[in-house]
Amino acid sequence: MKLNAPYVGLLKKIMPRTLFGRSLLIVVLPTVLLQILATYIFYERHWNNVARRLAQGVSGEIASVISLTDRFPGEEAQASILNIARSQMRLTVTFEDGYITPYSADHDDDDFGFLERHMARELRSSLPGRDFTITTNNNLEIVIIRVQLADKVLNVTVRDKRLFSNTTYIFVLWMIGISITLLAIAVIFLRNQMRPIRQLANAAEQFGKGQQVADFKPSGAQEIRLASIAFHEMKHRILRQIKQRTEMLAGVSHDLRTPLTRMKLQLAMMEDNDANRNLIGDVEDMKNMVEGYLAFAKGQEAESVAPVNLKEIVQEVCDNAARQGADITLTAAEDVLAHLRPNGMKRCLTNLIENARRHAQKIEVQLVIEDDQAFILIDDDGPGIPEDKRADVFRPFHRLDTSRNTETGGSGLGMTIARDVVHGHGGQIILATSPLGGLRVQVSLPL
């Protein structure tokens, strides 16, 4: 059976969001439904039957008193009947002169309470044709029954214990107590089962943000233990891969610096001519590329995450760019405490602002906080980047400027390093069109 869309949407709204809440609902809902069903069956069968039989007994005793009174008239017989009713039937019976006001013809048994309703039904059966009234006191401790006789009124006072069984309350309280006890046990066990899941989720979130995550002991159910072990193995494989790539790139770049240095020395001792100058330019390009490789490798090195003021880091990078002649302004409303790798974030922002400084005259930087995210917006008035080429700028060693001018093209690793640093902190970097007409770089970081 497939539910309609409105009912599905309503169920999604009222359902708990957490696994703990849903698991608790799975345990509690059947228990509550079972208790409601058991109480209903008990009320309809046991409670009603007991109350009806008790009312039958009382109404039969009242009918017996009336029958004896009719059969044995006189004051002496009446006193003996009252004594028998008080001592053996536990009924307080009195007689008074007058008449009672009977119930109207449209009076419904539903107007009575639970005890009075059963008593009224049995009195009609035991005393056919006689008028009667049933009242209770404010504390519901006694029930007063008045029956019209031929020339007087019979007053019968009955204690509620004659008409009501205390086992009903004991049964209901017993069910509620058992339910609360089972619920408390279920909550304790579910909390213990949810703890390893939260531990695994927190570890995965921290590792996704680039933070150091220590190995923890797998615990909980077998499936959760397997998931924790798989997470540890995945983490170690990723760290090994990053380390191997970084060491290889750093080693190759370092080895290339020695022959480049020898080549520069040999060229410096050679005769100055066009060929020599061209070779010097080629060697300089190679040197810049090697420095870029080393910078890229350095950006991959493990750096401890520390709580830092993000506003101070952005301010420092902007001040450095201003000292190099950039027309740059910073808008930041408040200090922002974030857990970052300070040197890596400085390198990332420096690369982004340096790219803007190369191609634009004016740079505007904004630091905005929304919910649990910090947004760094870098806008410039340069030529920008076509939308179909924005994804290419993050490719390692890719340069949009195909010329060999290092002042405009660089080594092609600046944006790659920036992206890796941002992704290493669990953030995102997006390129868009700036309100100034150039390029907007949006860096989002989780706080």
pLDDT at 106: 53
pLDDT at 163: 65
Determine, yes or no, domain membership for 331: yes
Are 94 and 65 within 8 A, CB to CB?
Answer: no
pLDDT at 295: 63
Determine, yes or no, domain membership for 148: yes
Domain hosting 339: range is: 304-446
CA 51 from centroid of its chain's CA atoms: 48
Three-state SS annotation for the chain: CCCCHHHHHHHHHHCCCCHHHHHHHHHHHHHHHHHHHHHHHHHHHHHHHHHHHHHHHHHHHHHHHHHHHHHCCCHHHHHHHHHHHHHCCCCEEEEEECCCCCCCCCCCHHHCCHHHHHHHHHHHHHCCCCCEEEEECCCCCEEEEEEECCCEEEEEEEEHHHCCCCHHHHHHHHHHHHHHHHHHHHHHHHHHHHHHHHHHHHHHHHHHCCCCCCCCCCCCCHHHHHHHHHHHHHHHHHHHHHHHHHHHHHHHHHHHHHHHHHHHHHHHHCCCCHHHHHHHHHHHHHHHHHHHHHHHHHHHCCCCCEEEEHHHHHHHHHHHHHHCCCEEEEEECCCCEEEECHHHHHHHHHHHHHHHHHHCCEEEEEEEEECCEEEEEEEECCCCCCHHHCCHHHCCCCCCCCCCCCCCCCCCCHHHHHHHHHHHCCCEEEEEECCCCCEEEEEEEEC
Q: Of 149, 165, 181, which closes a domain?
A: 165
**92-97/152-159 β-pairing:** antiparallel
Closest CA relative to residue 213, chosen from 228, 223, 227: 228
Determine, yes or no, domain membership for 370: yes
Q: Of 130, 165, 200, which closes a domain?
A: 165
Determine, yes or no, domain membership for 412: yes
> CB within 8 A of 390, min separation 6: which ones?
431
**Entry pTM:** 0.51
- Taking the C-alpha atoms of residue 52 and residue 49, their distance in angstroms, rounded to an integer, is 5
Return the CATH number at 428: 3.30.565.10
**327-332/362-370 β-pairing:** parallel
Q: How many domains does the chain have?
A: 2
| Radius of gyration for the alpha carbons in the chain, expressed in angstroms and rounded | 45
Q: Of 116, 140, 165, which closes a domain?
A: 165
Determine, yes or no, domain membership for 253: no
Determine, yes or no, domain membership for 131: yes
All residue ranges of the chain with pLDDT < 50 are: 1-2, 105, 402-406, 408-409
Q: What is the pLDDT of residues 106-151, one digit of tens each?
A: 555 555 666 677 778 878 888 887 888 888 766 656 788 888 887 7
- Taking the C-alpha atoms of residue 251 and residue 254, their distance in angstroms, rounded to an integer, is 5
- Taking the C-alpha atoms of residue 215 and residue 197, their distance in angstroms, rounded to an integer, is 15
Determine, yes or no, domain membership for 271: no
Determine, yes or no, domain membership for 261: no
Can you give the length of the chain in residues?
A: 447
